[in-house]
Structure 1
Amino acid sequence: MTFLLTPFATDFMLRALGGGVLVAAICAIVGTWVVIRGMAFLGEAMAHGMLPGVAAASLLGLPAIAGAAVSAVVMTFGVNAITRRGRLSSDTGIGLLFVGMLSLGVIIVSHSRSFAVDLTAILFGDILAIRPADLALLALALGVTGVVAVIFHRPFVALAFDSRVAHTLRLRPRLAGAVLVGLVTLAVVASYGAVGSLLVVGLLLAPAVAAGHWARRIPTTMLLAAVFGSVAVAAGLLVSWHAETAAGASIAVVAIAIAALSALLRQLTKVSSATP
């Protein structure tokens, strides 16, 4: 018990745990839809496409999250324009937009004197430096995400299975698609300041994938994904404390390991049940 409890006796570790659990809950709601809709590449593009805004904000002495929000808005409008009116496939268009934004960010960051440090912080964040204000922001983002997810549940479900059915039922699939992209943006921007872009992507995908092996209903999948994500946060922080490793990267690795273990256990369960 000492091994498990001692690390969380410090204030900064408790704040890291609280912030990580809030991020896990936000990402569980949004990540479930990301996995169902096959939008993993969009999540990756949104997370890393924030780099130019963050870099520009850092050079100008502005809050990094403000720059992240500006870049995320640009990415959101660009993605919506590509998916609605673009002649290219959505994956191709998003890929070009993603590479362009990422390259622009690297160009901006390369002018600073601490290129490596800045880029590492952008990718991995610093979950151990979460402040009370960050916790309040994450709690607000979780509340907004939950409300929007409840209001647009039926349009999201219809859109996930057949956009034509959604249109027939007058559920406005285009609006639903834009709102879903907006939720991904909100999750990425709200979580970025606490955990960086790499951990956001990991918690968007891995817990939802792990939960999908055991749950069939969407709300149940979200709840289970939140549990898996929270376990990944706690276990990753413990690994970081005792092994003296990077906290964000440790959490991401644990989340991926949970997804892999979940898939393996599910497969073993199927084989066991099929054996006479």
Structure 2
Amino acid sequence: MEWLSAPFEVSFVARALLGGLLASGICALAGTWVVLRGMAFLGDAMAHGMLPGVALASLLGGSLFLGAALSAVAMALGVTALTRSPRLSQDTSIGLLFVGMLSAGVIIVSHSQSFAVDLTALLFGDVLAVRPRDLLVLAAALTAAATVSLVAHRAFVALCFDSRKAVTLGLRPRLAHAGMLGLVTLAIVSSFHVVGTLLVFGLLIAPAAAMVLWARRIPVIMLGAALLGALSTFSGLLVSWHTGTAAGATITAIAVALFFLSAGAAYVRGLRGLRGHCLPTTAVAAGRSSGKELEYTG
């Protein structure tokens, strides 16, 4: 079993594994809400919207984390401002900002003498270059994401499934939405160094989407998404080591492949369920009354 353990005996691969595990946990917490809330396009736009800040920080020799955070916050504020217009739909506003921010990032990077290298590093990351201080940032981000998810859990659930009820319960859905955007921003900003701005979206969405097909309880979805993300990280680094592929892209590709496997298995399960449609109506009704219908709960 040396082929299984040998890669992780190398210090930078071991750090990459730990960084990937921490990023998987953060993305699982935020990604669950992104999937349940239907914010996938916004998450994608925010992941790309970081590029101008990261590129500018890289050229000026500043903190990439700070640059990414400022750019992502600007993206979130821009979306919030534009969506208030009754003449513009949310997807139109997000799409315009998405293209604008991405274009600005490419223009900024084009001023670098190593344009292709810098752009590749920013878009796809370098998980094998994770440093000890990056692990500290990821650990702090995971703690913050877990705290936000725990404190705002009730408000987030109400926002995802019945925003009108959230108003009735005094949960302030606008504030909850802002908190959810902050959580997504935290996940994207803290994880982009591991898999890059382009691929962080896959780690954010794929594991949570795979678990939504099987689990009804939100904590179970989060836990399962974290485990799938961890499996993707371990397998991706292992495959990358033995085949010479890009580590970050391999991790994301495996995460997406796991989603399609989950979707295929769920489809087969659904077909088998259809074969049992001849059950008596009373039995079906009894099953429904016992609370077995699909319902996400905390």
Q: Same fold (TM over 0.5)?
A: yes
Distance 2:244 2:117 in 1: 18
AA aligned to 1:162 is: D
| 1:121 corresponding residue in structure 2 | 121
The aligned length equals 276
Q: Tell which deviates more after alignment, 254-263 or 101-110.
A: 101-110
Distance 1:51 1:129 in 2: 19
| 2:154 corresponding residue in structure 1 | 154
Distance 2:212 2:17 in 1: 24
| 2:13 corresponding residue in structure 1 | 13
2:263 is the counterpart of 1:263: yes
Q: Measure how far apart 1:86 and its partner are.
A: 5.8
| 1:198 corresponding residue in structure 2 | 198
| 2:125/2:196 contact within 8 Å kept | yes
| 1:25/1:229 contact within 8 Å kept | yes
| 1:52 corresponding residue in structure 2 | 52
Distance 1:94 1:36 in 2: 19
In the superposition, relative to structure 1, how do residues 171 and 85 fare at CA in structure 2: closer, same or farther (>3 Å)? Answer: farther
Q: Measure how far apart 1:60 and its partner are.
A: 1.1
Alignment of 1:49-198 (within 5 A): 49-85=49-85, 87-198=87-198
SS in 1 for 2:214: coil
SS in 2 for 1:156: helix
Q: Measure how far apart 1:161 and its partner are.
A: 1.2
Q: Measure how far apart 1:273 and its partner are.
A: 4.5
TM-score by length of 2: 0.90
| 1:199/1:251 contact within 8 Å kept | no
| 1:25 corresponding residue in structure 2 | 25
| 1:124/1:198 contact within 8 Å kept | yes
SS in 1 for 2:83: helix
| 1:69/1:189 contact within 8 Å kept | yes
Q: Measure how far apart 1:267 and its partner are.
A: 1.7
Distance 1:245 1:127 in 2: 12
How big is each residue's C-alpha offset from its partner over 1:194-214, in whole Å with a ceiling of 9 and x where there is no partner? 321123101111000111111
TM-score by length of 1: 0.97
| 1:46/1:72 contact within 8 Å kept | yes
Distance 2:85 2:149 in 1: 26
Q: Measure how far apart 1:271 and its partner are.
A: 2.5
In the superposition, relative to structure 1, how do residues 86 and 242 fare at CA in structure 2: closer, same or farther (>3 Å)? Answer: farther
Distance 1:51 1:85 in 2: 26
How big is each residue's C-alpha offset from its partner over 1:3-48, in whole Å with a ceiling of 9 and x where there is no partner? 2111111111111111001100000010011001111111111111
Q: Measure how far apart 1:260 and its partner are.
A: 0.3
Distance 1:80 1:145 in 2: 21
> After TM superposition, where is structure 1 displaced by more than 6 Å over at least 4 residues in a row?
none
Identity level (%): 61
Root-mean-square deviation (CA, aligned residues, Å) is 1.3
How big is each residue's C-alpha offset from its partner over 1:62-112, in whole Å with a ceiling of 9 and x where there is no partner? 122221111112112112223345641111111111111111111111111
Q: Measure how far apart 1:272 and its partner are.
A: 3.3
Which structure is larger by alpha-carbon Rg, 1 or 2? 2
Distance 1:244 1:111 in 2: 30
Distance 1:2 1:262 in 2: 30
